[in-house]
Amino acid sequence: MYRVRLRHMLAAAVSFAAMLSASRAEEPGYGPKTYDRTLEALITHEDIAGRGGWPRIPNSASALKPDSQGPDVALLKQRLMLSGDLPPDALPGDVYDAAVVAAMKRFQRRHGLSDLGTVGRLTLKALNVPVEVRLNQLTATLERLKGNGFSFTGRYVVVNIPGASAEAVEGGVVQRRHLAIVGRPDRPSPVLQASITSVNLNPYWTVPMSIVKADIIPHMRKDPGFIAKSNMKLLGAENREIDPVSVNWASLSNPYFYVRQEPGPTNSLGQLKIDMPNSEAVYMHDTPKKSLFRNDVRFNSSGCARIEGVRDLAAWLLEGTEWNQPAIEAEIAKGERKNITLKKAVPVAWVYMTGWQDAEGLVQFRDDIYGLDTPQGIVTSTIQPRRPKPKPAAVPTAAPATAKLPQPVVRPAAPKAAAAPVVAPRPAPPTAVAIQ
């Protein structure tokens, strides 16, 4: 009888733990608790840095796979143990066993990489990012989270630009998670807050003038049929169509027309656009190039956010109306433009979080793709950005000042506590509205 009762108690405990884990997994990455959790991660990584950080893994380790054996495996195990991915009670030795595979998958998930459990090129680069850089990422994220004024109540959508991902949240619970494709380093996606107001089916794409100058004109100089092949039109005053043949593309620098791509499956916006009026003129949309979502590195757009499964997101935004997913699909199939206004606007935030701790206690890191975390330069583990070539520096008239060394990481200052006891209280999340 005692054993039966014990089994029931153990089963209940396991069930509760599973439910707790599932509920935490449903919490958003960007929410009212993100600041406090990320502060915990900062303290943990300060401790790691104080103990000397983690070892550098040699390039030869990129060939490691299950059942590999040797000193590279032993070093990898040490590295994974220091970052908390491999349990401290793991069996010692130099064999790439099941525990190492599980630890590698955990590490890869924390860094937004495919969890294959083997050491590849991108994983090796992420392993070798120094702990001091990770501290900078956590510190910079904390600074950006302070005083952002975003309300986490009700429904909202968040796009984390470095994570190239999006979440749809309601009542503090993630309803949908989506992969995203965001701006290239030379055409970055902006950090902003706005409101989603409508869903556009079979949209036009009015090409931004910057893209007309940078892309369309050079294409037309090489291939005069590019406009027609791309299902585009040149439109002038009063939307009168202009024949591309009449344009002197060789000498054109300031277009007197605008370029519009017609609706269709090859439209650069795909077949659905989510409108969110803002000063940066960006939005979320579909894409005909869906294969790009399979990549770990998804920084390919000109600033807007392409969303995988965007029709699912649109159906969620339009819940409570006649526009369920079958209705959306049927309308798209007609090939005609349709603008659907939301009954109630949904807040949206595009954020720049490169280091944070999630609800499960996992410290997440993503590439500082735009180099915003440190003034010393880009912080990234996988790719290097394309930056404009700097203008030649003017010849100094006096001897240049001695260059300053990079400054040490400074933890964000916490609000002063009144009549503080022995330990000052942790700062509250710097959000305008928190879910109670």
Domain layout of the chain by residue ranges: 31-53+130-203+269-387+431-436, 58-129, 205-262
Cβ atoms 359, 24 nearer than 8 A: yes
β-bridge partners, 185: none
Q: What is the pLDDT of residue 431?
A: 27
Q: What is the pLDDT of residue 174?
A: 97
Q: What is the pLDDT of residue 57?
A: 97
Q: What is the pLDDT of residue 52?
A: 96
pTM beyond 0.85: no
Cβ atoms 27, 158 nearer than 8 A: no
d(CA 293, CA 181): 7
Q: What is the pLDDT of residue 25?
A: 59
d(CA 110, CA 41): 13
How, if at all, do strands 155-160 and 338-351 pair? parallel
Query: Domain 31-53+130-203+269-387+431-436 class?
Result: mainly beta
CA distances from 113 to 40, 163, 370, 408 (A): 23, 10, 19, 29
At the topology level of CATH, where does 58-129 sit? Muramoyl-pentapeptide Carboxypeptidase; domain 1 (1.10.101)
Tell me the pLDDT of the chain (436 aa) as tens digits: 444 443 444 444 434 333 333 445 589 999 999 999 999 999 999 999 999 999 999 999 999 999 999 999 999 999 999 999 999 998 889 999 999 999 999 999 999 999 999 999 999 999 999 999 999 999 999 999 997 889 899 999 999 999 999 999 999 999 999 999 999 999 999 999 999 999 999 999 999 999 999 999 999 999 999 999 999 999 999 899 999 999 999 999 999 999 999 999 899 999 999 999 999 999 999 999 999 999 999 999 999 999 999 999 999 999 999 999 999 999 999 999 999 999 999 999 999 999 999 999 999 999 999 999 975 544 444 444 434 334 444 433 333 333 333 343 445 544 333 333 332 333 333 322 222 2
CA 399 to chain CA centroid, Å, is 43
| Vertex 84: Cα angle to 79 and 86 (nearest 5) | 70
Q: What is the pLDDT of residue 376?
A: 54
**Would you say how long the chain is, in residues?**
436
